[in-house]
Amino acid sequence: MVKLVILIEPLDDWSKLEAAWPQFLHYAEEMPGLQREAVSTVDSMLYGNCAYMQMHELFFDSLETARQAMSSPAGQAAGRHLQQMTGGKLVLFFADYKEDDIANLRKYKQGSEGAA
């Protein structure tokens, strides 16, 4: 699985982003091949400096599917809107994505404890 990650830098007028966000979501959610999405807003810093205030993740089955989605009419509209509402204060990248759930992790841990 692959995700398109959008990191948004702090903006001078965050309310502008909030007002424009529903339209961006409308475009993004029309991208072909989109499996799911997640958005995270930085709540508080625990350690270090954070150059970003929000992260949006769009999940696809493959890199090719993600690239096709970005080049689709909906993907192009989402990209234009994203640039306009952030003034270009963002970073985009693809990331190979793997996930495991806690039940499987616990199952693995229990199996390895008995192997000693």
The parent domain of residue 75 ranges over 2-113
**pLDDT per residue over 18-55, tens digit each?**
999 999 999 999 999 999 999 999 888 888 887 899 99
CB 28 within 8 Å of CB 109:
no
pTM for the full predicted model: 0.83
Q: What is the pLDDT of residue 13?
A: 86
Q: What is the pLDDT of residue 112?
A: 61
Sole residue written with tokens 């192997």: 115
Sole residue written with tokens 């995700």: 3
40's torsion region: left (phi>0), alpha (psi -120 to 50) or beta? beta
**pLDDT per residue over 95-105, tens digit each?**
998 888 888 77
Question: Which residues are registered as beta bridge partners of 54?
Answer: 8, 41
CATH at 97: 3.30.70.100
Q: Identify the H or E element spanning 95.
A: strand 90-96
* Domains contained in the chain, number: 1
Does 108 score more than 80 pLDDT? no
